[in-house]
Chain A
C-alpha cells in the first residue's frame, strides 16, 4: 500500500517536471525561440513581480470566485433537472430535444446574449459558467438515474419504500457516481468558459491577465498566466475528488475495508 502511494506521487509529479525540463533545455539551447518560449526558470522572477506589484492574487481570486459561484449556480439546478428527467419519462421526452440542442451550442457563443440579459458585471460571468455546465450536469444525472438497475427499485419497494423514500434511498445515491462524472467534466468547461469570457469582457481575472499580456507582448507574463490556469484546474479537480470521497465513499473505497 505504501509503495503504491509513493509510486503514485512520483508519477503525478514526473509529468510536469519532465515537461518543464524539456522546455527549459530546448529554450536555453535556442532550439525553440526563447522570445516566444522563455525558459520556465525565468518565469519565477516574473511571477514574484506579478504577485507583489500587479495583484496577481486578485486576478486568481476573482476567476476562482466566478468559476465556483457559476459552478454552484449551474450544478444544483442541473442535478435537480437531471433527476426529474430521469425519474419521469414525459419530462424526459419533452425536454430531451431542447437539452441536446442547447448542449451542442458552443458556450462562448451565447456570451453576448448573457451580457444583454445580465449586464457586464459579475453576474453575467457567473451566469455564463452556470449556463454552459447546466445541461452537461443535467444530462449526466439523467443517464445516472436511468442506469440504476431496476432490481434495486424492486428491493426497496418490497421492503416498503414509499416513492419519496425510493427517491432518497435509491435514485439519488444510485445516480451520485454519474453526477460526479458530470461535475468533473463541468469543471473543465467552466475553466475554458471563464478564461474565454475574461478575454472578451472583463477587466480583471486570470483570462484578462493572459490576454492583456499577449496584447502588450509580455510573453513571460502570459506564460505565468497559462501555468496558473493549469494549476487552478488541477486544484479544483483535486477538491472535487476530495468531496467525492466523502459523498460517494462506496465508489472510491479500495479493496481494503
Chain B
C-alpha cells in the first residue's frame, strides 16, 4: 500500500488536480443548473451565504438541570469570508455550528443565514468525530449528498471519485470506512461536504485527527477551494496556528458558557500560502495576541488550573 503522504503530495502537485480544479466549476454548473451558474461565473464574494447572529443563546435542559451552551452571541460572517472559531473545550463551538447548520435552534436571539440574491442558501457540515456511514464505501459516502439531490448514479460516482482524488484517496474508493485510518476517514468526510458544493461550509475541527503534514496539505487545499468558489466558511479549531493561516477573522470565544470574547482580524494577503504566512513578522504578534486571550479563557474554564492542582 502506498503511503498516504506520498499520494497526497503527488495529487496536489500534478496537473490532474489543476484539471480537476477547472473541471469542477464546469461540471458543477452542469450538474445542478438552477443554483450554479451565478456562483460559478462570478465567483465573487456575493455568492456565499451571510450568517448573522443576534444575541444567540442555547440552553440545554436536562434531567439534572439546565446548561447554557452559549449566550449572547453577536456575530456577522460576511458572504465569502473565512471565519475561524477558537475557544476552550465545552464553550459551545459545536453547538453554535449546529445551530447555523439548522440542526439545532437557538433558545434566545435570532440566527439568520441568507444569500444576497435572496435564494435559499445551502450548507454542508464536516462533523467532528466518526461520521462516515459505516454501511457505505468511501465513494458512496462522498456521493451521498449528491444522491439525495437527485444526481444520476454515474455522474455522482464520477464526482465522488474526483473529490476522493483531491484528498488523495482515489485508490481507496471501494474500501469500507472501518478499513481505512482515522485520518483517511476524516479526509473522506471533508470530501463528502465539498461534494454538494454548498454556499456555506461548516467545519468542526475537521483536521483534528490528522497528522501535521496532511493537515498542512489540506489547509492549503482548502484555501485553494475557498479562493476559487467564494464559499463562506465557518471553521472550528483548537489550533491558533491553523486559525491564522486560514482566517479572515478569528472569533475567540470565552470559557463556558461561551460568548464572543474577541474578534481578531487576520490581514495576511490572499491567495495565502502557508510558508509565506508563517514567515510574516505579523504572524508572531497575532499568535501572541490570540494566545494571551485564549490562555485566560482556558484558565478560567478550569481545564488548566484543575489539571495541575
Interface positions of A (Cβ within 8 A of B): 149, 151-152, 154-161, 165, 169-170, 173-174, 176, 248-251, 253, 255-257
Contact = CB atoms under 8 A, between A and B. Distances in A.
Nearest to A249: B176
Contact of B179 (A165, A176, A255): A255
B145 A253 contact: no
Return the 6 tightest CB-CB contacts between A and B, nearest first: A159-B145, A173-B135, A257-B175, A250-B176, A160-B148, A151-B131
Contacts of A173: 133, 135-136
B168 to A, nearest CB: 16
Contacts of A176: 135
B135 A250 contact: yes
A159 B124 CA distance: 6
B123 interface: yes
Given A160-B148, A257-B174, A250 B134 contact: yes
A154 B98 CA distance: 9
Contacts of B178: 250, 253
B133 A170 contact: yes
A158 B101 contact: yes
B196 interface: yes
Contact of A155 (B127, B149, B177): B127
Contact of A158 (B123, B134, B135, B176): B123
Nearest to B150: A160
B298 interface: no
A152 B131 contact: yes
B144 A159 contact: yes
Which one of A151, A159, A251 has the highest number of Cβ atoms from chain B below 10 Å of its Cβ?
A: A159
A161 B147 CA distance: 10
Contacts of B101: 158
Interface in B161-177: 172, 174-177
Given A250-B176, A257-B176, A257-B179, A161 B148 contact: yes
B309 interface: no
Given A159-B144, A176-B135, A250-B178, A257 B103 contact: no
A160 B149 contact: yes
B235 to A, nearest CB: 16
B147 to A, nearest CB: 8
Contacts of B179: 253, 255-257
Contact of A152 (B125, B133, B149): B133
Contacts of B148: 156, 159-161, 165, 169
A151 B133 contact: no
A176 B178 CA distance: 16
B131 A155 contact: yes
B174 A160 contact: no
Which one of A152, A251, A256 has the highest number of Cβ atoms from chain B below 10 Å of its Cβ?
A: A152
A157 B135 contact: no
A157 B103 contact: yes
B129 interface: yes
A253 B136 CA distance: 12
Nearest to A252: B176
24 contacts: A149-B131, A151-B131, A152-B133, A154-B103, A155-B127, A156-B148, A158-B101, A159-B144, A159-B145, A159-B148, A159-B196, A160-B145, A160-B196, A161-B148, A165-B148, A169-B133, A169-B144, A173-B133, A173-B135, A248-B135, A250-B178, A251-B134, A255-B179, A257-B172
A154 B133 CA distance: 11
Interface string B277-293: 00000000000000000
A177 to B, nearest CB: 9
B180 to A, nearest CB: 9
Given A156-B148, A159-B124, A256-B179, 9 more contacts: A155-B133, A158-B124, A159-B192, A160-B145, A161-B148, A169-B144, A250-B134, A250-B178, A257-B174
A99 B20 CA distance: 55
Contacts of A249: 176
Contacts of B144: 156, 159, 169
Which one of A160, A161, A170 has the highest number of Cβ atoms from chain B below 10 Å of its Cβ?
A: A160
A253 B176 contact: yes
Contacts of B133: 152, 155, 169-170, 173
